[in-house]
């Protein structure tokens, strides 16, 4: 009986350790990204700079062909989709999209929601919606009511990026918007465009894996 109990305890511990390693892998590392404080007057604010790429590349992931989000920290791009943001703060997002157009299956997602002023900017021009067929990705935090459609690069655009992180000299669309974090909490964010090429219905692989096309916002 004692031997069986010892084996059972050892098995439980092994499973717990395995789960811990798996969770660490999914979150892309133990240290969430904390954006630096911004300098907007009259309101607490921070800046969050992202890029979306068609293929993350072998330098940043063993899944080199997976579509992914990247975040810029201290001038360096890296793959992390778990971000720590302060509560009740304006988050000024700049997103450089280097990926092509996949199209939305639900046109509802083509309308910006939950952003300051009800609009975002595409290459400096204000907009509140895009053509659903021209969408590449979305930036969405459902629990905060935030949805922003991301315009994709056209197929005939010159100098398209093949390997991330993508330089600004390659074809891209620049999306800017601001949202407010609100109260403290742990929120899931994700892309709702079926952009995972090679997977059934486009929603497998990177679309279901934290560290690529979805993650968490820890509001503290």
The single-letter DSSP state of residue 108 is G
SS3 12: helix
Q: What are phi and psi of 42, to 5 degrees?
A: 85, -5
Nearby residues of 20 by Cβ (< 8 Å), 6 or more positions away: none
Contact assessment for residue 68 and residue 52, using Cβ atoms and an 8 Å cutoff:
yes
Q: What share of the chain is helix, strand, coil (3-state, %, to 5)?
A: 20, 35, 45
**55 has pLDDT over 50:** yes
Q: Which CATH class is domain 34-219?
A: mainly beta
pTM here is 0.81
Q: Per-residue confidence at 153, pLDDT binned at 50, 70, 90?
A: very high
Q: For residues 37 and 86, which has the higher predicted lDDT (pLDDT)?
A: 86
Range from 21-30, 86-95, 128-137, 190-199 carrying the lowest mean pLDDT: 21-30
- DSSP E strands in 63-183: the ranges are 68-73, 76-78, 82-85, 90-97, 120-122, 125-127, 135-141, 146-151, 173-180
**Could you tell me the two tokens for 150?**
């991301």
Mean pLDDT of 144-172: 95
Q: Per-residue confidence at 164, pLDDT binned at 50, 70, 90?
A: very high
**17 has pLDDT over 50:** no
Q: What are phi and psi of 116, to 5 degrees?
A: -65, 130
Contact assessment for residue 122 and residue 130, using Cβ atoms and an 8 Å cutoff:
yes
Domain boundaries, the chain: 1-30, 34-219
Give the pairing of strands 90-97 and 173-180. Answer: antiparallel
Q: What does the pLDDT read at residue 72?
A: 97
């Amino acid at each position: 009986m004692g031997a069986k109990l010892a084996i059972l305890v050892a098995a439980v511990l092994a499973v717990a350790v395995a789960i811990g390693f798996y969770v660490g892998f999914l979150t892309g590392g133990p240290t969430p990204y904390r954006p630096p404080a911004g300098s907007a007057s009259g309101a607490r604010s921070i800046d969050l700079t992202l890029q979306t790429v068609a293929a993350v590349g072998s330098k940043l992931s063993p899944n080199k062909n997976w579509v992914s989000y990247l975040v810029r920290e201290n001038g360096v791009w890296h793959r992390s989709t778990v971000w720590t943001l302060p509560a009740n703060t304006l988050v000024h997002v700049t997103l450089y999209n280097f990926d092509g157009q996949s199209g939305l299956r639900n046109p509802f997602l083509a309308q910006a929601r939950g952003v300051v002023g009800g609009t975002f900017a595409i290459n400096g021009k204000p907009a509140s919606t895009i053509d659903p067929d021209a969408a590449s990705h979305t930036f969405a935090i459902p629990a905060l009511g935030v949805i922003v459609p991301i315009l994709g690069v056209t197929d005939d655009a010159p100098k398209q990026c093949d390997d991330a992180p993508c330089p600004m000299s390659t074809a891209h669309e620049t999306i800017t918007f601001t949202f407010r974090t609100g109260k403290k909490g742990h929120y899931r964010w994700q892309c709702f465009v079926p952009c995972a090429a090679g997977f059934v219905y486009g929603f497998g692989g990177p679309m279901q894996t934290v560290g690529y096309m979805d993650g968490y916002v820890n509001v503290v």
